């Protein structure tokens, strides 16, 4: 049976080093693209998908993010405060688990940005996620038509959606778009403290329970100040198309 997550976690604690000097004074999730902070682009997508509550973790310049989301109603925002510890992308989820409940939840990077195709990609993820077969379903962008991405990709994807991690020196056609659905049970025996989320991805892959769904639309990699203008042009062009 497909799922319909009503909770989400947004990773917003990073230092945003590659976005300097902009992030010398504001956290990367509050960097504006096309007239709206990156974090609001993500929260608005979640609201459209019917998500009631979003857990947002904070570490770098946390008060700015806390103040920014204080009045948010759709979705409601709950803060997972990490200002006293660096937990990494994996440790952040472990800390937030009591706030996320026992059902599969959306997981997003605060700086991810995409243009939907004919359907909402969050809705497509929910319709595709099968907890009987999957522990994680990643939204995968084709490197060939992603905006601002110049890397070698993250995964190869089989016709049934199973993912295989890129080997060293290999080039693969898909990059993780920073959007996923995850089962909280994945983290039951996860370590405490700092660790990367890729550890969890790798374990799910070894067990044959890591899957991908190709993004319908265009993904924008907004990693540096130079990438902002390119993303804005694509986003604004799509809004008038």
What pLDDT is stored for residue 142 in this prediction? 92
Longest CA pairwise span in the chain (Å): 48
Position of tokens 């902009």? 22
Q: Mean pLDDT in runs of 10 for the chain (241 residues)? A: 88 91 94 93 96 96 96 94 92 95 95 92 96 96 87 90 90 94 92 91 94 94 86 75 50
Domains of the chain, start order: 7-239 (3.90.550.10)
CA distance 195 to 113: 25
**Residue closest to 198 by CA, chosen among 162, 172, 166:** 166
Strand partners, 32: 37
Strand partners, 166: none
Q: Look up the pTM and report it.
A: 0.93
What pLDDT is stored for residue 108 in this prediction? 97
What pLDDT is stored for residue 239 in this prediction? 63
Q: DSSP labels for 33-66?
A: ETTEEHHHHHHHHHHHTT--EEEEEE-SSHHHHH
What pLDDT is stored for residue 234 in this prediction? 81
Position of tokens 């890129």? 166
CA distance 20 to 100: 32
């Amino acid at each position: 049976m497909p799922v319909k997550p009503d909770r989400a976690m947004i990773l917003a604690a990073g230092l945003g080093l590659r976005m300097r000097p902009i992030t010398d004074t504001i956290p990367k999730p509050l960097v504006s693209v096309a007239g709206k902070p990156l974090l609001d682009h993500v929260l608005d997508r979640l609201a459209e998908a019917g998500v009631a509550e979003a857990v947002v973790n904070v570490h770098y310049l946390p008060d700015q993010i806390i103040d920014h989301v204080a009045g948010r109603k759709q979705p409601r925002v709950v803060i997972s405060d990490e200002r006293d510890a660096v937990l990494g992308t994996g440790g952040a989820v472990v800390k937030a688990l009591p706030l996320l409940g026992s059902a599969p939840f959306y997981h997003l990077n605060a700086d991810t940005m995409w243009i939907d195709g004919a359907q909402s990609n969050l809705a497509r993820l929910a319709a595709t996620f099968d907890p009987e077969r999957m522990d994680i379903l990643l939204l995968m962008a084709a490197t060939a038509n992603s905006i601002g991405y110049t890397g070698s990709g993250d995964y190869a994807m089989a016709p049934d959606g199973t993912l295989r991690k890129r080997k060293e020196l290999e080039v693969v056609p898909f990059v993780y778009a920073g959007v996923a659905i995850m089962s909280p049970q994945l983290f039951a025996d996860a370590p405490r403290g700092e660790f990367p989320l890729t550890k969890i991805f790798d374990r799910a892959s070894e067990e044959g329970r890591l899957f991908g769904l190709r993004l319908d639309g265009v993904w924008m990699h907004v990693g540096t100040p130079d990438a902002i203008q390119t993303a804005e042009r694509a986003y604004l062009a799509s809004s008038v198309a």
